[in-house]
Amino acid sequence: MIDSKLSPILTVKELQKQFGGHVVLSDVNLIVQRGSIVSVLGRSGTGKSVFLKCLAGLLEPDGGEIRFDSGGTNTSRLRCSYLFQANALFDSLTAFENVALPLEQTTRFGTSEIERAVAAALRTLGLEKFAEYYPAQLSGGMQKRLALARALVTRPALVLFDEPTAGLDPPARHSVFSMIIRYKEEYDFTALVVTHDVSEALIFSDRVALLEKGRIYFEGNPADFAASDDSVVRSFGDNAITDSASRDW
């Protein structure tokens, strides 16, 4: 699935984060290969979102190192986008304005170039007819696609997905992961997905990592995860594996 010759786009070493003495991340190590889809699994409250926010620069790690392909550490997040669990769309801006925002604010593109790029992103995600709609006028799935359009319009090398399927029914969850696969090919990005949706993650990911007690407890391909005899891995994945087995993953 992954070309092993590809270089890592993200390397996390001994990442630590605590809040008022409560250790959330104690020693997280992870390597993400360029062009892959890596899912970070874990129970609620194990620090998956904290991990992602450290990567995105929204939280300052207490220790450890985050290295991106640019070679910079911690603060260097070259061409990295973040898809929030609740989308974080600007409710006072239209769909068009939401997608245009990062281009207007971070590039030297002219108005016509921005209009072309935004129209293309909206068209790709099937939202061209809703350009003048406000986020509140769109359905949950359309909002998710709009957030993805905004994340992809700057052509990021790495996209961080925070619980992209939270609160969605099984068909919608499946379509979100399908969407990630589809646009990953089209936009050529690497995806790091934080989720507790084990069954979908095992189907769509190239690698899975299980975050448990502040560290990466398991890291490997989905087949190894499913075949693991480890009690922690099994207890986490049993239901999902049973569920997804019926879909011939």
Residues that bind other proteins (CB under 8 A): 53, 56-58, 80-82, 84, 86, 88-92, 101-102, 104-106, 150, 154
| Shortest spacing between CB 234 and other proteins, in angstroms | 34
CB of 167 to other proteins, least distance (A): 15
Q: How far is the CB of 146 from other proteins (least distance, A)?
A: 12
Identify which of residues 46 and 49 has a Cβ nearer to other proteins in the complex: 49
Q: Shortest approach of other proteins to residue 170 CB, angstroms?
A: 26
Instruction: Report the alpha-carbon distance of residue 232 to residue 36 in Å, rounded.
Output: 25
Name the minimum Å distance from CB 82 to other proteins.
4
Minimum CB distance to other proteins smaller for 73 or for 92: 92
Q: Which is nearer to other proteins, 49 or 205 (CB)?
A: 49
Q: What is the CA radius of gyration of the chain?
A: 18
Residue with tokens 């925002």: 101
Tell me how far apart the alpha carbons of residues 27 and 79 are, in angstroms, rounded to a whole number.
Answer: 26
Closest to other proteins by CB, 167 vs 170, is 167
Of the pair 2, 93, the CB lying nearest other proteins is at 93
Task: Work out the number of other CB atoms within 10 angstroms of the CB of residue 168.
Answer: 18
CB 9 within 8 A of CB 68: yes
Tokens of 115: 């209009």
**75 CB-contact burial (10 Å; exposed 0-12 / middle 13-18 / buried 19+):** exposed
Order of strands, sheet of 80-83, starting from the edge strand that comes earlier in the sequence? 63-68, 8-19, 22-33, 215-220, 207-212, 37-41, 190-195, 158-162, 80-83
In whole angstroms, how far apart are CA 140 and each of 33, 60, 94, 168?
31, 31, 15, 9
When the beta carbons of 136 and 246 are compared against other proteins, the nearer one is: 136
To other proteins, the closest distance from the beta carbon of 99 in angstroms equals 11
Smallest distance, other proteins to C-beta of residue 130, A: 19
Query: Among residues 57 and 220, whose Cβ is nearest to other proteins?
Result: 57
CB 88 within 8 A of CB 128: no
Reading the block at residue 77, the tokens are 């997040």
